[in-house]
Amino acid sequence: MLDQTSVTAYGHLINGETIDRATAGGIDVLDPSTGKVFARIPRGGAAEVDRAIDAARSAFEGEWGAKSALERGRILMKISALIIENFEELAALESRDTGKPMKQARADITATARYFEYYGSAADKHHGETIPYSKGMTVLALRVPHGVTAHIIPWNYPSQIYGRSVGGALAAGNACVVKPAEDACLTPLRISELALEAGLPAGALNVVCGLGTEAGAALAAHPGINHISFTGSPQTGTAVAKAAAENHVQVTLELGGKSPQVIFADADLDEALPVIVNAIIQNAGQTCAAGSRVLIERSIYDEVLARLSERFSALKVGAGVDDLDCGPIISAKQLERVTSLVDAALADGAKVVASASMAENAPEGGFFYPPMLLDGAAPESRIGQDEVFGPVLAAFPFDDEKDAIRIANATPYGLTASVWTRDGGRQMRCANAIEAGQVFVNNYGAGGGIELPFGGMKRSGYGREKAFEGMISFTTIKTVVLKHG
Ligand code: NAD
């Protein structure tokens, strides 16, 4: 059970050992539901990153690299089983660290276990090709691991994003160095300990704690890594890609979004509206794939707004442990960002149509922001363009299919979208025309879906994670040309 009163000291996990437990100094980890410190992590930098990369290289060239695909897969399956065995402990830790309601934390841990199961079972089913080149020759296109892979993780879904990223990389045979976010990194640390228990050789998976500008920047710029998987903000993504370019290292960038939820007049509203609300309140809107814009056909605009409004007004906000509709924002800094973007929207002419209320027992000092529905903003205003990363849904009317597609595509982002209509032709036309890495028709995944290739178009990033596609990203092709006559 998680200690609710004292401050727990965590360390880095390097070469199979927990080191530098942050008893004093280090970085305070706050419970977003109360604003109180409950853990402390060490503030790693270039020295710890060096050690972690050395350990990963040794594992890759040693015991881990010598494992067969089947052996790697079995270890990943065991990690998955250990996550399930420690399910409630991990869910409580994730909820405390991020503030997310327990049901969301449980869903996240379930998904994390699924990533290890999925990639564990994929490890020995992933192979290259032979190429009919010329008579007397056989050409093999082998799928080989990159070597040492770096994984820079954000705070919003620490366990899930860690699972999807290191799951694919380990299954493909890489050794990993993870830099989780300073605001929430405890489940990646704990699951990495479980991975050792599952039989993962020391050094195959290392976790360095610390600030992005120190440990993160040192990792991104390190000449000893062969691939970077980065999930986070577009600004940091640019910095990471620039650092990687210096070493000619390939990067996968999973950045933000401003995902449109498009509702046509023929949609089944009873089905659509609960999903649309959930797509923005899930994880207090701190989801890269949050459905933060709802585009509504003008003929049903007032009706949909009234029905959404009822739903927003009924929502309750409180501590993660109380498991209500919505938990807190991750930090005071992020709360300030959400508040200032909404203030700017109101100054630009937007109006608050409805907002949720705080639970009576919500703790003092938590970073709460009640979910809010806004109307009256122009699609080109900041609230129509910028990622809020909070539970704020902006509504916009449209005239017809062409207009809907125009507004849907009129942001720099292209991560995910949903289209709600019973018209089969329109479903496919919209899916084709909307610029997004994932388009959902009459449903919305809001980031879920282990088996579904995921990633952005435009400024939402490049490369794909999740699914088989994610594992392919963690390999490269080596072509072997055999002349045998
Ligand atoms: P962030 O970019 O500030 O931080 C992400 C990670 O990068 C953290 O581990 C951080 O410590 C590290 N970092 C920060 N500066 C760095 C630097 N100079 N060099 C190397 N690493 C550095 O993002 P955040 O605030 O943690 O997360 C929010 C953002 O992430 C949002 O924009 C959101 O849309 C995006 N996001 C995207 C996805 C996706 O899959 N597309 C998923 C979750 C979050």
| Neighbour-count burial of 35, counting CB atoms closer than 10 A to its CB (0-12 exposed, 13-18 middle, 19+ buried) | middle
Contact 12, 42 (CB under 8 A): yes
Q: Do the domains spanning 8-255+463-479 and 260-449 agree at the CATH topology level? A: no
Q: Can you tell me the distance from the alpha carbon of 394 to that of 386, in angstroms, rounded to the nearest whole number? A: 11
For ligand 1, mutation pick of 12, 152, 161 (most atoms within 8 Å of CB): 152
Annotated active-site residue 254? The verdict is yes
Name the DSSP letter for residue 34: T
Rounded to whole angstroms, the Cα distance separating 384 from 98 reads 26
Q: Is 3.40.309.10 the CATH number for 260-449?
A: yes
Query: How many Å lie between the centroid of ligand 1 and the Cα of residue 1?
Result: 29
What pLDDT, on the 0 to 100 scale, is given for residue 447?
53
Atom of ligand 1 nearest to the CA of 183: 26
What are the tens digits of pLDDT across the range 377-416?
A: 999 999 999 999 999 999 999 999 999 999 999 999 999 9
Q: What's the rounded Cα separation, in Å, for the pair 108 and 102? A: 10
- Give me ligand 1 centre to Cα 179, in Å: 11
Atom 19 of ligand 1, nearest CA residue: 217
Ligand 1 atom with the shortest distance to the CA of 185: 9
Q: What is the Cα–Cα distance from 307 to 298, expressed in whole angstroms?
A: 15
User: 27, 115, 259, 288: which to mutate for ligand 1, most atoms within 8 A of CB?
Assistant: 288
- Cα–Cα distance, 384 to 157 (Å, whole number): 24
Q: Which of 94, 117, 182, 254 is catalytic?
A: 254
How many residues in total does the chain contain?
485
Indicate the DSSP class of residue 257: -
pLDDT on residue 1: 43
* Confidence at residue 287, expressed as pLDDT on a 0 to 100 scale: 96
Q: Please classify residue 360 by burial: count the beta carbons closer than 10 Å to its beta carbon, then call 0-12 exposed, 13-18 middle and 19+ buried.
A: exposed
Supply the residue whose CA is at minimum distance from atom 35 of ligand 1. 232
Q: What's the one-letter identity of residue 257? A: G
Contact 112 CB / ligand 1 (< 6 Å): no
CATH T-level fold of 8-255+463-479? Aldehyde Dehydrogenase; Chain A, domain 1 (3.40.605)
SS3 416: strand
Ligand 1 atom with minimal separation from the 217 CA:
19
Residue with the nearest Cα to atom 18 of ligand 1? 213
Q: Give the start-to-end residue ranges of the domains of the chain.
A: 8-255+463-479, 260-449
Q: Which of 252, 181, 222 is nearest to 57 (CA)?
A: 222
User: How far apart (Å, rounded) are the C-alpha atoms in residues 381 and 220?
Assistant: 34
In the predicted model, residues of the chain with pLDDT beneath 70 are 1-5, 446-448
- Residue minimizing CA distance to atom 10 of ligand 1: 212
Q: Which atom of ligand 1 is nearest to the CA of 232?
A: 30
Q: Return the residue whose CA atom lies nearest to atom 34 of ligand 1.
A: 256
HSE-up (13 A, CA, CB side) for residue 242: 7
